[in-house]
Amino acid sequence: MIKDWLQESNYTVIFTGAGMSTESGLPDFRSANKGLWKQHDPSKIASIDALNNNVDTFIDFYRERVLKVKEYGPHQGHYILAEWEQQGLVHSIITQNVDGFHQESGSKIVHELHGTLQKLHCQSCGKEYSSGEYVDNEYHCDCGGVLRPSIILFGEMLPQEAFQTAFQDAEKADLFIVLGSSLTVSPANQIPLIAKESGARLIIVNQEPTPYDQYADMTIHDQKIGVFLQAVANEGKG
Ligand code: APR
Protein backbone atom coordinates (compact mmCIF):
# COMPACT_ATOMS: atom_id res chain seq x y z
CA MET A 1 0.00 0.00 0.00
CA ILE A 2 2.80 2.41 0.85
CA LYS A 3 4.38 1.77 -2.56
CA ASP A 4 1.00 2.89 -4.04
CA TRP A 5 1.17 6.07 -1.96
CA LEU A 6 4.72 6.62 -3.27
CA GLN A 7 3.57 6.10 -6.85
CA GLU A 8 0.46 8.31 -6.49
CA SER A 9 2.37 11.17 -4.87
CA ASN A 10 3.59 14.03 -7.07
CA TYR A 11 6.01 15.31 -4.44
CA THR A 12 7.43 12.97 -1.80
CA VAL A 13 9.77 14.24 0.91
CA ILE A 14 11.75 12.05 3.32
CA PHE A 15 12.72 13.50 6.73
CA THR A 16 15.46 11.60 8.57
CA GLY A 17 16.93 11.63 12.07
CA ALA A 18 19.66 9.68 13.82
CA GLY A 19 17.53 6.51 13.77
CA MET A 20 18.25 6.36 10.03
CA SER A 21 21.94 5.70 10.75
CA THR A 22 21.89 3.34 13.76
CA GLU A 23 21.73 0.35 11.38
CA SER A 24 24.97 1.69 9.88
CA GLY A 25 26.56 1.40 13.32
CA LEU A 26 26.31 5.03 14.51
CA PRO A 27 24.61 5.72 17.87
CA ASP A 28 21.56 7.99 17.96
CA PHE A 29 21.08 10.60 20.68
CA ARG A 30 18.12 9.69 22.82
CA SER A 31 17.61 5.91 22.61
CA ALA A 32 17.46 4.47 26.12
CA ASN A 33 20.73 2.52 26.18
CA LYS A 34 23.28 3.73 23.61
CA GLY A 35 22.02 7.26 22.85
CA LEU A 36 24.90 9.81 22.86
CA TRP A 37 22.98 12.19 25.08
CA LYS A 38 22.51 9.39 27.59
CA GLN A 39 26.32 9.37 28.09
CA HIS A 40 27.15 13.05 27.60
CA ASP A 41 25.38 16.29 28.50
CA PRO A 42 25.00 17.99 25.07
CA SER A 43 25.16 21.45 26.64
CA LYS A 44 28.64 20.60 27.97
CA ILE A 45 30.03 18.98 24.83
CA ALA A 46 28.02 19.92 21.74
CA SER A 47 27.65 23.65 22.40
CA ILE A 48 29.46 26.79 21.36
CA ASP A 49 30.28 27.21 25.05
CA ALA A 50 32.07 23.83 25.07
CA LEU A 51 34.09 24.88 22.00
CA ASN A 52 35.11 28.15 23.66
CA ASN A 53 35.76 26.91 27.21
CA ASN A 54 36.35 23.15 26.99
CA VAL A 55 38.12 22.77 23.67
CA ASP A 56 40.11 19.58 24.46
CA THR A 57 37.01 17.64 25.56
CA PHE A 58 35.11 19.14 22.60
CA ILE A 59 37.75 17.98 20.07
CA ASP A 60 38.07 14.50 21.65
CA PHE A 61 34.30 14.02 21.35
CA TYR A 62 34.05 15.21 17.76
CA ARG A 63 37.22 13.43 16.61
CA GLU A 64 35.57 10.21 17.86
CA ARG A 65 32.39 10.99 15.86
CA VAL A 66 34.42 11.86 12.72
CA LEU A 67 36.33 8.56 12.99
CA LYS A 68 33.05 6.62 13.35
CA VAL A 69 31.49 8.34 10.31
CA LYS A 70 34.59 7.39 8.29
CA GLU A 71 34.61 3.81 9.67
CA TYR A 72 30.90 3.14 8.91
CA GLY A 73 28.81 4.04 5.88
CA PRO A 74 25.32 4.00 4.38
CA HIS A 75 23.19 0.87 4.86
CA GLN A 76 20.72 -0.70 2.42
CA GLY A 77 17.98 1.71 3.51
CA HIS A 78 20.04 4.72 2.38
CA TYR A 79 20.59 3.09 -1.03
CA ILE A 80 16.86 2.36 -1.41
CA LEU A 81 16.08 6.06 -0.81
CA ALA A 82 18.69 7.04 -3.43
CA GLU A 83 17.15 4.55 -5.89
CA TRP A 84 13.66 5.99 -5.27
CA GLU A 85 15.05 9.44 -6.09
CA GLN A 86 16.44 8.02 -9.36
CA GLN A 87 13.01 6.53 -10.12
CA GLY A 88 11.30 9.88 -9.42
CA LEU A 89 9.55 8.46 -6.33
CA VAL A 90 11.41 10.72 -3.85
CA HIS A 91 11.90 14.44 -4.54
CA SER A 92 14.06 15.46 -1.61
CA ILE A 93 15.52 14.38 1.69
CA ILE A 94 15.50 16.70 4.69
CA THR A 95 17.96 15.38 7.26
CA GLN A 96 18.97 16.30 10.81
CA ASN A 97 21.90 13.89 10.40
CA VAL A 98 25.46 15.09 9.92
CA ASP A 99 27.01 11.83 8.69
CA GLY A 100 26.64 12.56 4.96
CA PHE A 101 25.38 8.98 4.35
CA HIS A 102 22.47 10.11 2.13
CA GLN A 103 24.87 11.81 -0.30
CA GLU A 104 27.36 8.93 -0.01
CA SER A 105 24.61 6.47 -1.05
CA GLY A 106 23.74 8.58 -4.11
CA SER A 107 20.88 10.87 -3.01
CA LYS A 108 21.31 14.20 -4.80
CA ILE A 109 18.78 16.55 -3.16
CA VAL A 110 19.59 16.54 0.55
CA HIS A 111 18.90 19.46 2.89
CA GLU A 112 21.23 19.24 5.91
CA LEU A 113 19.48 21.12 8.72
CA HIS A 114 22.27 20.61 11.25
CA GLY A 115 25.35 20.79 8.97
CA THR A 116 27.88 18.02 8.38
CA LEU A 117 30.77 16.13 10.04
CA GLN A 118 32.32 15.65 6.58
CA LYS A 119 33.80 19.17 6.79
CA LEU A 120 35.60 21.31 9.37
CA HIS A 121 36.03 25.08 9.38
CA CYS A 122 38.20 27.52 11.31
CA GLN A 123 36.32 29.14 14.20
CA SER A 124 38.37 32.36 13.65
CA CYS A 125 38.63 32.90 9.86
CA GLY A 126 36.03 30.44 8.54
CA LYS A 127 38.43 28.64 6.17
CA GLU A 128 37.05 25.19 5.25
CA TYR A 129 38.95 21.92 5.69
CA SER A 130 38.13 18.24 5.22
CA SER A 131 37.32 16.36 8.43
CA GLY A 132 40.37 14.22 7.58
CA GLU A 133 42.37 16.88 9.47
CA TYR A 134 40.88 15.51 12.72
CA VAL A 135 41.87 11.99 11.71
CA ASP A 136 45.46 13.28 11.35
CA ASN A 137 45.23 15.04 14.74
CA GLU A 138 45.37 18.47 13.05
CA TYR A 139 43.24 20.92 15.05
CA HIS A 140 44.42 24.35 13.95
CA CYS A 141 43.98 26.52 10.89
CA ASP A 142 46.92 28.15 9.07
CA CYS A 143 45.74 31.35 10.81
CA GLY A 144 46.12 29.68 14.24
CA GLY A 145 42.36 29.43 14.87
CA VAL A 146 40.68 26.23 16.14
CA LEU A 147 39.18 23.84 13.57
CA ARG A 148 35.64 22.69 14.46
CA PRO A 149 33.18 20.42 12.59
CA SER A 150 30.79 22.23 10.21
CA ILE A 151 27.78 21.10 12.25
CA ILE A 152 25.40 23.41 14.10
CA LEU A 153 26.32 23.47 17.79
CA PHE A 154 23.73 24.17 20.48
CA GLY A 155 23.66 27.95 20.81
CA GLU A 156 24.58 28.61 17.16
CA MET A 157 22.49 30.11 14.36
CA LEU A 158 20.68 27.56 12.18
CA PRO A 159 21.42 27.46 8.40
CA GLN A 160 18.62 29.71 7.10
CA GLU A 161 18.94 28.48 3.50
CA ALA A 162 18.56 24.79 4.45
CA PHE A 163 15.55 25.53 6.68
CA GLN A 164 13.86 27.79 4.10
CA THR A 165 14.16 25.13 1.41
CA ALA A 166 13.03 22.43 3.85
CA PHE A 167 9.92 24.45 4.82
CA GLN A 168 9.12 25.00 1.12
CA ASP A 169 9.51 21.29 0.39
CA ALA A 170 7.25 20.41 3.31
CA GLU A 171 4.56 22.77 1.95
CA LYS A 172 4.80 21.13 -1.50
CA ALA A 173 4.76 17.54 -0.22
CA ASP A 174 1.86 15.18 -0.99
CA LEU A 175 3.64 12.43 0.96
CA PHE A 176 6.02 13.11 3.89
CA ILE A 177 7.84 10.19 5.54
CA VAL A 178 9.72 10.59 8.86
CA LEU A 179 12.44 7.97 9.40
CA GLY A 180 14.12 7.66 12.81
CA SER A 181 13.60 10.90 14.68
CA SER A 182 12.23 11.49 18.18
CA LEU A 183 10.92 14.83 16.79
CA THR A 184 11.98 16.55 20.01
CA VAL A 185 14.33 19.24 18.67
CA SER A 186 12.84 22.43 17.26
CA PRO A 187 12.53 24.01 14.81
CA ALA A 188 13.35 20.86 12.79
CA ASN A 189 10.45 19.04 14.46
CA GLN A 190 7.97 21.60 13.06
CA ILE A 191 8.67 20.51 9.49
CA PRO A 192 6.55 17.32 9.52
CA LEU A 193 3.69 19.42 10.96
CA ILE A 194 3.99 21.97 8.15
CA ALA A 195 3.75 19.12 5.64
CA LYS A 196 0.64 17.72 7.35
CA GLU A 197 -1.00 21.16 7.61
CA SER A 198 -0.25 21.71 3.91
CA GLY A 199 -2.21 18.57 3.01
CA ALA A 200 0.49 15.87 2.89
CA ARG A 201 -0.04 12.30 3.98
CA LEU A 202 2.30 11.83 6.98
CA ILE A 203 4.01 8.52 7.81
CA ILE A 204 6.23 8.26 10.92
CA VAL A 205 8.60 5.28 11.16
CA ASN A 206 10.27 5.29 14.57
CA GLN A 207 11.01 2.62 17.19
CA GLU A 208 9.62 4.84 19.93
CA PRO A 209 6.44 6.95 19.96
CA THR A 210 6.90 10.62 18.99
CA PRO A 211 4.94 13.72 20.07
CA TYR A 212 3.57 14.00 16.52
CA ASP A 213 2.19 10.44 16.14
CA GLN A 214 -1.30 11.85 16.69
CA TYR A 215 -1.04 13.81 13.41
CA ALA A 216 0.30 10.90 11.33
CA ASP A 217 -1.79 9.01 8.79
CA MET A 218 0.34 5.97 9.64
CA THR A 219 2.87 5.26 12.41
CA ILE A 220 5.23 2.28 12.34
CA HIS A 221 6.91 1.50 15.66
CA ASP A 222 7.47 -2.25 15.34
CA GLN A 223 9.68 -2.34 12.24
CA LYS A 224 13.26 -1.11 12.00
CA ILE A 225 13.76 1.45 9.25
CA GLY A 226 15.93 -0.88 7.15
CA VAL A 227 13.25 -3.61 7.26
CA PHE A 228 10.49 -1.09 6.53
CA LEU A 229 12.24 0.37 3.46
CA GLN A 230 13.13 -3.09 2.11
CA ALA A 231 9.51 -4.24 2.58
CA VAL A 232 8.16 -1.22 0.68
CA ALA A 233 10.77 -1.67 -2.06
CA ASN A 234 9.65 -5.32 -2.42
CA GLU A 235 5.90 -4.45 -2.53
CA GLY A 236 4.38 -5.53 -5.81
CA LYS A 237 7.41 -7.66 -6.73
CA GLY A 238 6.30 -11.27 -7.52
N1 APR B 1 14.55 2.05 13.21
C2 APR B 1 13.57 2.88 13.64
N3 APR B 1 13.74 3.83 14.59
C4 APR B 1 14.97 3.91 15.16
C5 APR B 1 16.05 3.08 14.77
C6 APR B 1 15.80 2.12 13.75
N7 APR B 1 16.76 1.27 13.33
N8 APR B 1 17.14 3.42 15.53
C9 APR B 1 16.76 4.41 16.36
N10 APR B 1 15.46 4.71 16.13
C11 APR B 1 14.68 5.79 16.74
C12 APR B 1 14.85 5.92 18.25
O13 APR B 1 13.84 5.18 18.91
C14 APR B 1 14.69 7.44 18.47
O15 APR B 1 13.37 7.77 18.86
O16 APR B 1 15.21 6.99 16.20
C17 APR B 1 14.97 8.06 17.11
C18 APR B 1 16.20 8.96 17.11
O19 APR B 1 15.88 10.06 17.91
P20 APR B 1 17.10 10.98 18.45
O21 APR B 1 18.16 10.10 19.01
O22 APR B 1 16.47 12.04 19.32
O23 APR B 1 17.70 11.65 17.14
P24 APR B 1 17.12 12.88 16.33
O25 APR B 1 15.63 12.93 16.40
O26 APR B 1 17.74 12.81 14.99
O27 APR B 1 17.74 14.14 17.14
C28 APR B 1 17.52 15.42 16.58
O29 APR B 1 19.01 16.36 18.22
O30 APR B 1 21.00 16.53 19.39
C31 APR B 1 20.32 16.94 18.30
O32 APR B 1 21.40 17.77 16.43
C33 APR B 1 21.05 16.57 17.06
O34 APR B 1 20.10 16.18 14.86
C35 APR B 1 20.01 15.81 16.24
C36 APR B 1 18.71 16.29 16.85
- Is 238's pLDDT higher than 70? no
**Nearest-angstrom CA–CA distance, 200 and 140:** 46
Q: How far is the CA of 182 from the centre of ligand 1 (A)?
A: 5
Residue bearing the bigger pLDDT, 236 or 107: 107
- The reported pLDDT for the residue numbered 31 is 94
- Is 231's pLDDT higher than 80? yes
112: left (phi over 0), alpha (psi -120 to 50) or beta: beta
- Is 33's pLDDT higher than 90? no
What are the helix (H) ranges across 48-93? 48-53, 55-71, 76-86
What are the helix (H) ranges across 136-238? 160-172, 191-197, 225-234
- Is 235's pLDDT higher than 70? yes
Cα dist from 169 to 10, 40, 103, 147, 194, whole Å: 12, 33, 18, 33, 10
Q: What is the largest CA-CA distance in the chain?
A: 61
- The reported pLDDT for the residue numbered 228 is 98
Cis amide bond preceding 187, omega within 30: yes
Beta bridge partners of 205: 179, 220
Question: What average pLDDT does this structure show over 143-158?
Answer: 96
Catalytic residue list: 114
CA angle (34 as vertex; 30, 38 as ends), nearest 5: 50
- The reported pLDDT for the residue numbered 236 is 78
Please give the sequence-ordered ranges of beta strands (E in DSSP) within the chain, or none if there are none.
12-16, 92-95, 110-112, 115-122, 128-130, 147-151, 175-179, 201-205, 218-220
Is the CB–ligand 1 distance for residue 19 below 6 Å?
Answer: yes
For the whole model, what pTM was predicted?
Answer: 0.97
Question: What average pLDDT does this structure show over 225-234?
Answer: 98
Is the CB–ligand 1 distance for residue 225 below 6 Å?
Answer: yes
Cα dist from 20 to 93, 102, 151, whole Å: 12, 10, 18
**Nearest-angstrom CA–CA distance, 29 and 109:** 25
**What b/e string do you get for 185-212 counting C-beta neighbours within 10 Å, with b at 16 or more?**
eeebbbbbbbbbeeebbbbbbbbeebeb
Cα dihedral sign for 13, 15, 21, 26?
A: positive
Q: How far is the CA of 198 from the centre of ligand 1 (A)?
A: 25
Digit-coded pLDDT (tens) for 67-90: 999 999 999 999 999 999 999 999
Domains along the chain with CATH numbers: 1-25+74-114+158-238 (3.40.50.1220), 27-71+115-151 (3.30.1600.10)
Q: What are phi and psi of 207, to 5 degrees?
A: -65, -25
Q: How far is the CA of 104 from the centre of ligand 1 (A)?
A: 20
Is the CB–ligand 1 distance for residue 23 below 6 Å?
Answer: yes
Digit-coded pLDDT (tens) for 153-208: 999 999 999 999 999 999 999 999 999 999 999 999 999 999 999 999 999 999 99
